[in-house]
Structure 1
Amino acid sequence: MSLSWYQRYLATGWALRQAGCMSVDATDVAVAAGPTGPGGAADVTVRQGATGGGGGAAPRAGDAIRRAELAAFLRSRRERITPEQVGLPRGSRRRTPGLRREEVAHLGAVGVTWYTWLEQGRDIHVSPQVLDAVARALLLDRAERSHLFALAGAIDPLPGKECTGVPLALRQILHQLAPFPAVVQNSRFDILAYNSTYGQLMCDLDALPEEDRNCMWLAFTHPGWRATLADREATVRTMTAKFRASMAEHVAEPAWKALVTRLTEASPEFREIWAQHEVERPASALKVFRHPKVGLLQLTGTNLWTGPNPGPKVLAYTPVDDVSRERLEQLEKLAFGQE
């Protein structure tokens, strides 16, 4: 009987270790003969060790610590999930707290071996697709998912994960700021939440599909939004420069690349500005809006960060004079159909 690809792989690794060419927990053999798909050959590579004659680069001291932290994190998440939570029978002989490793692998449609190696802290590289499957199987929330990808040294492939929800408490703060316009944005200029006044400041945001609620997209493509910007040319240049500066930390992320592609295809103006590679950091500034119903508004924009790092933020606009304050009050009444 011929050996399976996995048996041949194990035999090869054993022989190389005996020859002193490999460390015990790392090999120079990329799993090239196994199954494809999540957890298959295309998704997991066992990396070359630093000892013996393999010739590989020595691992950094922090890598082993990071792998151990990842292993402990996965075990803790697995052990907190009951079989009933994921539709599995408990059985009468279950001694493992929470789920078994093979159950997690089954739920995520990944290889049992690969998941086991992750929990053992092996020196392996796992694709973002496998990590995504593991995150779903372990019912990770947004913070836990981010932690998983950070420990694995991988980029989350799913768009819109920088901030997927706005807490009720923050929404209440936005509401209380009215008639001052206020909005929660992430660093990609996605509009995540807003109060009634902001919702009518430049266009009727409620009437837009969710995928179009992005300030960059609206500033370059929405006629109503563009018409309210008193100094539109300078505004879009500044926005593009801030967007490029923020994107430096997200250049490989699909959501950022997709937005640039969408803007490039839709707006010649964006293509021209983007090609100039200008950058600018976020800052508060005077904003002038020309609203079709209430008139000219002079507002000061203030950024309030919602976390320890620049990313999701509350952007609030306050009037610089009494006339602008009165017109904001009129705008709030318009938002509720009172005028």
Structure 2
Amino acid sequence: MTIAAPEQPREQDEERHGGRPGERHIRRRELAAFLRSRRERVTPEQVGLPRGPRRRTPGLRREEVAHLSAVGVTWYTWIEQARATHVSAQVLDAVARTLLMDPTERAHLFALAGTADPRTEAECTLAPKSALKIVERLAPYPATLQNARYDILAANRPFAQVFGDPAELHPAERNCLWLLTTSERWMRDCLDRDEMLRDLIAKYRAGMAEHMAEPAWKERLNGLLEVSEEFRGLWERHEVAPTTPHVKRYLHPVVGLIRLEHRNMWLAPQAPAHRVVAYVPADEDSEERLERLAELSHG
């Protein structure tokens, strides 16, 4: 089945796809140039086509890309001429496969088109060694490596002492939102738990706006909506919030009250980026109590 070219949207329809007119025009031109450069890079032999004696075009012809992608020739031509005001995820996916794009190129393609990639593969759970070193070296301060969905990918010993060891949990439960919603320990020890949950839900909603079609984001959200009536009620408020440093209180059963400031160190500018979250003591008493925990772990 060939994906036919839709009618050119009217100006008011184009407005609904977001961005200012000048920005949209720049994006269309960048998208067109990027597709031409990728098309010219792929040889006919790479996609199972004969080269033929009269081929002058470097790489593939437009009609060949359209045919291999099951996209109308006219519509693909419009895209490369920066005339297409909105390109669907289905078309982008087909073209990316035809042009043999790697994950970075594919992500760039969808970003230029302003369209969420519905087939984003699960993020690699293997944390970079450099990030793991940072997390470990932050001891005696608790620290974790997280992604944009607040999944805990790695944690150091102080974090495990204060909050519990994520390694002892099922992988699906290694998530800050999940723990704030379901963990008896977090509900008991996080003295600002209600405020933290509202804030984190608002941040998750703000972050999810860029990942609405991604299965991992929807799966996490659906799981939380199913397991917690409290979460459902807070989610229905449609509140959003930025990621900002803040101080929270934790009552540890051994060393007592610890006040920690959450600090985010992003490892990459792209979303969903990994970030190191450091829990820095907000006062001298809290620092002394973290040091005491560290001594107990070596005792």
State TM-score, norm by structure 1: 0.65
Aligned residue for 1:40? 3
Q: Residue deviations 1:123-146, cap 9 Å, x none? A: 264321221233344444454333
Amino acid at match of 1:237: R
Amino acid at match of 1:215: C
Aligned residue for 2:195? 234
Q: Give secondary structure in 2 for the equivalent of 1:316.
A: strand
Structure showing greater relative contact order (alpha-carbon pairs closer than 8 Å, 6 or more residues apart): 2
Match of 2:109 among 148, 153, 168: 148
Aligned residue for 1:171? 132
Query: What is the Cα deviation at residue 171 of structure 1?
Result: 3.3
Match of 2:220 among 246, 251, 259: 259
Aligned residue for 1:323? 288
8 Å CA contact 1:46–1:123 kept in 2: the answer is no
Amino acid at match of 1:220: T
Q: In 1, distance between residues paired with 2:242 and 2:136?
A: 28
8 Å CA contact 1:78–1:138 kept in 2: the answer is yes
Amino acid at match of 1:145: R
Aligned residue for 1:191? 152
Distance 1:323-1:92 versus aligned 2 partners, 3 A rule:
same
Larger Rg over CA atoms: 1
8 Å CA contact 2:116–2:214 kept in 1: the answer is no
Q: In 1, distance between residues paired with 2:99 and 2:154?
A: 28
Q: How does 1:200-211 map to 2 (within 5 A)?
A: 201-211=162-172
Q: Give secondary structure in 1 for the equivalent of 2:247.
A: strand
Q: In 2, distance between residues paired with 1:101 and 1:294?
A: 68
Aligned residue for 1:69? 30
Aligned residue for 2:230? 269
Query: What is the Cα deviation at residue 40 of structure 1?
Result: 1.9
Distance 1:310-1:130 versus aligned 2 partners, 3 A rule:
closer
Q: In 2, distance between residues paired with 1:183 and 1:206?
A: 12
Amino acid at match of 1:205: P
8 Å CA contact 1:142–1:161 kept in 2: the answer is no
Query: What is the Cα deviation at residue 266 of structure 1?
Result: 0.8
Query: What is the Cα deviation at residue 216 of structure 1?
Result: 1.0
Q: In 1, distance between residues paired with 2:167 and 2:82?
A: 48
Distance 1:65-1:277 versus aligned 2 partners, 3 A rule:
closer
Query: Please, which runs of 5 or more residues in structure 2 have no aligned partner?
Result: none
Q: In 2, distance between residues paired with 1:141 and 1:198?
A: 36
Query: Is 1:298 aligned to residue 263 of structure 2?
Result: no
Q: In 1, distance between residues paired with 2:261 and 2:67?
A: 54
Q: Give secondary structure in 2 for the equivalent of 1:288.
A: strand
Distance 1:246-1:296 versus aligned 2 partners, 3 A rule:
same
Q: Superposition RMSD on alpha carbons, in Å?
A: 4.2
Q: Give secondary structure in 1 for the equivalent of 2:94.
A: helix
Q: Give secondary structure in 2 for the equivalent of 1:79.
A: helix
8 Å CA contact 1:294–1:330 kept in 2: the answer is no
State TM-score, norm by structure 2: 0.72
Aligned residue for 1:110? 70
Q: In 1, distance between residues paired with 2:228 and 2:90?
A: 32
Aligned residue for 1:4? none
Determine what percentage of the aligned residue pairs are the same residue: 45
Query: Please, which runs of 5 or more residues in structure 1 have no aligned partner?
Result: 1-34
Q: Give secondary structure in 1 for the equivalent of 2:6.
A: strand
Query: Is 1:128 aligned to residue 93 of structure 2?
Result: no
Q: In 1, distance between residues paired with 2:200 and 2:194?
A: 10
Q: In 2, distance between residues paired with 1:182 and 1:81?
A: 45
Q: In 2, distance between residues paired with 1:56 and 1:279?
A: 26
- Alignment size in residue pairs: 288
Distance 1:143-1:251 versus aligned 2 partners, 3 A rule:
closer
